[in-house]
Structure 1
Amino acid sequence: MGSPLGDFIRTKRDSIQPQSLGLPDRGRRRSPGLRRSDLATRAGISVEYLTRIEQGRDRNPSVAVVRALADALGLDSAERDHLRYLTKITGGTCSAHRRPGPPPREVRPSILETLRLLEPGIALVTNRLGDVLAHTSGYGSVAHGTGLLDADTPNLTRYVFTDPRARTFFADWDDVADEQAFDLWLGASAGNAEWFTTELARTAGPDFTRRLNRHMVPRRGALRLNHPSGCELHLLRETLELPSDAQQLIVLLPADDDTAQALDELRRRSHGPLRAIS
């Protein structure tokens, strides 16, 4: 049985061409990427120890070993953060006896008041599992007609992977799907992520599972939306982390004049109040 940490290290190792690290090409091999022996040598650990980590038989590598593996794999800052996070949740997996369940959905009154101050802008409160917990009327106008907010408890991750309309609404659906799958690893706890992914895997199918397990750290650019009204929206994303709540406040801003004009038109058509979902 593997582990999130081992899966990430193995996936990164398979994605690296030896030549990019100045290593010789040793000819054809059964699997692509960097050999386990080469990575172990670069990290200063034994092949047997690296094998145990990758296979999930050693779940508590030291800080020094984790740092050495990050250096040996040439990870950037975002990937290093993810490696440290996976080390933390992997080490805690064996001691977690509590049955996993859904995270809390309540939004603090002060956060709701912040949303009201952002009206008529486009903003929402969500958690790492993709639950849309509250949103402004501006966000409602952008999502209107897409099916995203139709459920009693809307969830962005479930929408992306199970609603066919999502592939039209998100112009860069593949990138958004990678982002949503990756963010599940950053949930409030390993148990919460397990609860949701077990539920979602039954309906989302193998594409979701593949994206989740390859640990692709996303490069979050502008969000391009094909609105049902016929306009294309280019939106910049600003995210405020709410660590004590395990939530995020996300504000979407027009990236160009055409988008700003289109948003003004959408607001004129749709007038709705702030919505909190609990």
Structure 2
Amino acid sequence: MIEGELGAFLRSRREATSPEDVGLPAGGRRRTPGLRRSELATLAGISVDYLIRLEQGRDRHPSIQVLTAIADALGLSAADRAHLNQLAVVGQGVGLCPSGRPQLATTVRSATAAVLDALDPAPAYVVNHRSDLLAWNDGFERLARPLGLLDGSPPNLARYVVTDPRARSAFLDWADVADEQVALLHARRRGDCGTAQLVDQLAESAGDEFTRRWERRPVPDIHPRTIGVTHPQVGVLRLTPEPLTVAGPDAQWLTVLVAADEVSAEGLVRLGAGGGEPVLRSLG
């Protein structure tokens, strides 16, 4: 499913762009959504045949000039342009798994664990590039455990959001949260077997709903959006994720959940009250 990402991403953005978006007349009835290949090729100044090769994954190394022309023709956002550039740089390492085993970070460094501990009681956690929860602090434990988010070995944010029915009740804007998790899988994956297996599992468990999201090639928001969480103990909390890249050879991200308003800040205080000393929760 992760094969041919560059071409699939271009196709998804072409199909999501209407003629009116780029100043063209709508014309007659269209068999496919969005722009025709001939229309995009004309706008970008490339041949239709070359655009077909790009979308079908037969040319994985287009020049920066060609990608810029296509991005300009489609009016891509800054986030989409950054993702397109990343795909081009990666060069479409399709299905790479030289060892035949998942290549995943499964533990955090002691220094990262110390940062999590220092952040407590603010909820904070660390994930790898396939959204496995590697470590978290007591503040996150109190927030996430009652929601069922920490079930599983290891717990996985994407799997919980997409496949666990409790997630639909936990998140006020579940569809937006699901889109973001799929976008993060796209952006952070390395083409390793572990991520490919997770994507296949999510497609099998969630069916067309996941597949449609995956094939739209969503891109993570540059500025993380505030999410609403309905917590069984303190009610609605509005939290803004602040992700930070963890230095080191393995791709890891430390995210702190910050209260977006006073009511949520008070809710987090109530949630953390009577808890004793901060304790680092970690797998690995």
TM-score, shorter chain, exceeding 0.5: yes
Secondary structure of 2:233's match?
A: coil
Between the aligned partners of 1:135 and 1:160, the Cα distance in structure 2 is 18
Between the aligned partners of 2:18 and 2:56, the Cα distance in structure 1 is 22
Unmatched segments (≥5 aa) in structure 1: none
Deviation at 1:184, TM superposition (A): 1.1
The letter of the residue matching 1:33 is G
1:181-209 C-alpha deviation (Å, 9 max, x unpaired): 11112235112432321233222322112
> Which residue of structure 2 aligns with residue 156 of structure 1?
157
Deviation at 1:102, TM superposition (A): 4.5
Q: How does 1:60-139 map to 2 (within 5 A)?
A: 60-93=61-94, 97-99=98-100, 101-139=102-140
Q: How does 1:10-89 map to 2 (within 5 A)?
A: 10-89=11-90
Between the aligned partners of 2:247 and 2:199, the Cα distance in structure 1 is 21
Between the aligned partners of 1:179 and 1:128, the Cα distance in structure 2 is 14
Deviation at 1:67, TM superposition (A): 1.7
The letter of the residue matching 1:128 is H
Go from structure 1 to structure 2 and tell me whether the alpha carbon gap of 1:230 and 1:251 turns closer, same or farther (over 3 Å shift).
closer
Between the aligned partners of 2:243 and 2:252, the Cα distance in structure 1 is 10
> Which residue of structure 2 aligns with residue 273 of structure 1?
279
Q: CA RMSD in A?
A: 2.0
Between the aligned partners of 1:129 and 1:95, the Cα distance in structure 2 is 15
Contact kept? 1:13, 1:34, Cα under 8 Å: yes
Go from structure 1 to structure 2 and tell me whether the alpha carbon gap of 1:109 and 1:137 turns closer, same or farther (over 3 Å shift).
same
Between the aligned partners of 1:23 and 1:268, the Cα distance in structure 2 is 59
Go from structure 1 to structure 2 and tell me whether the alpha carbon gap of 1:28 and 1:188 turns closer, same or farther (over 3 Å shift).
closer
Contact kept? 2:184, 2:220, Cα under 8 Å: no
Between the aligned partners of 2:62 and 2:31, the Cα distance in structure 1 is 28
Between the aligned partners of 1:172 and 1:95, the Cα distance in structure 2 is 35
Between the aligned partners of 1:253 and 1:29, the Cα distance in structure 2 is 46
> Which residue of structure 1 aligns with residue 188 of structure 2?
187
1:36-58 C-alpha deviation (Å, 9 max, x unpaired): 11111121110000011111222
Between the aligned partners of 1:123 and 1:20, the Cα distance in structure 2 is 40
The letter of the residue matching 1:217 is V
Q: How does 1:227-266 map to 2 (within 5 A)?
A: 227-229=231-233, 231-242=235-246, 244=248, 245-266=250-271
Contact kept? 1:175, 1:218, Cα under 8 Å: no
Deviation at 1:232, TM superposition (A): 0.1
Between the aligned partners of 1:214 and 1:171, the Cα distance in structure 2 is 22
Deviation at 1:136, TM superposition (A): 1.1
Identity of aligned residues (%): 44
The letter of the residue matching 2:117 is R
The letter of the residue matching 1:159 is Y
Contact kept? 1:185, 1:193, Cα under 8 Å: no
Between the aligned partners of 2:52 and 2:99, the Cα distance in structure 1 is 29
Query: What TM-score, normalized by structure 2, do the two folds share?
Result: 0.91
Between the aligned partners of 1:239 and 1:274, the Cα distance in structure 2 is 19
Moved more, 6-15 or 164-173: 6-15
Contact kept? 2:9, 2:216, Cα under 8 Å: yes
Go from structure 1 to structure 2 and tell me whether the alpha carbon gap of 1:151 and 1:25 turns closer, same or farther (over 3 Å shift).
closer
Unmatched segments (≥5 aa) in structure 2: none
The letter of the residue matching 2:271 is L
Go from structure 1 to structure 2 and tell me whether the alpha carbon gap of 1:147 and 1:179 turns closer, same or farther (over 3 Å shift).
same
